[in-house]
Structure 1
Amino acid sequence: MSIKDRFKMIMDREQLTAGAFAESIEVAQATISHILASRNNPSTEVILKLHKRYNDINLEWLLTGKGNMSNNSPSVENNGFDYPLFADNPENPSNEPSTPENRKEIALEAPVNTPKEIVKQEIIYKERPPKKITEIRIFFNDNTYETFKPEN
């Protein structure tokens, strides 16, 4: 996990946009943008400002990715959730029956194809009278010019 990803995790935890996060740690929005785009790594100054504002962030985790994100939380990998991925959720219990039942497929009605309207396009070309040259000017580098007019 890169330092950019750790910055994103902090922003997600705090529910901040890049602009709001930059403002909260008192750095330019472009600084955070460059870090998140992997153009630049954060300077020591940026890291210290982040730690000053969010002092529960573990500096070792921020710099190396080792350890816990927060000095107060037990684990970062599971974001504070300590139940398995497919465990029953007591807050949102499944309403499905515990035994699987066989279900038959129900055929849908045949789609009704409506004929598409035919669009006819007519292009009309209008003849324009030919253009005639009325004057030609040639400019020189000494700020003079000559005008040429065709003989009729």
Structure 2
Amino acid sequence: MEERIRKFMEYKGISASELADTIGVQRSNVTHVLKARNKPSFQFIEKMLQIYPDLNAKWLLLGTGSMVDTPVKSRTLFDQDTEPISQTQIKTEKILEKTITNEQKPIQAQEIIPGPISEKATSDHELQDQFFSSEKPVERLIVFFKDATFKVYNPSR
């Protein structure tokens, strides 16, 4: 594994001290691993794989496969090939838009016609019988007038 770490460092063009600083271990730790004095710890390998996501874990641990994973990059909206729009297409689209807007009929507002308003005076008891059930007593009625005034009606008093 020491040889594979050394090859990866050559591939990236970094020194042992740069690798140690990058993955956050002591420089002596990297030196001891490269000289086969110590084997790399789990944290050492984990940090390498986290910092260098393109490093193939199977290659580093077992020596199989390629050194660097080449992920298949999924194409985003901006990576997709597009065909340029010709000026004739733009003109045709503008003409179509104009004909569509000319053919549309304007929407007319519908007026709400109020129903007949009864002008007869009703007594307090008739109002209460007409609009409210006896199951739930009315506490208060507030009537708002167009001149921004109001009147409070308390049937229980």
TM range (shorter): 0.3 to 0.5
Q: TM-score, normalised by structure 2?
A: 0.44
User: Relative to total residues, which structure has the larger helix share, 1 or 2?
Assistant: 2
Q: TM-score, normalised by structure 1?
A: 0.45
> Which of the pair has more CA radius of gyration?
2
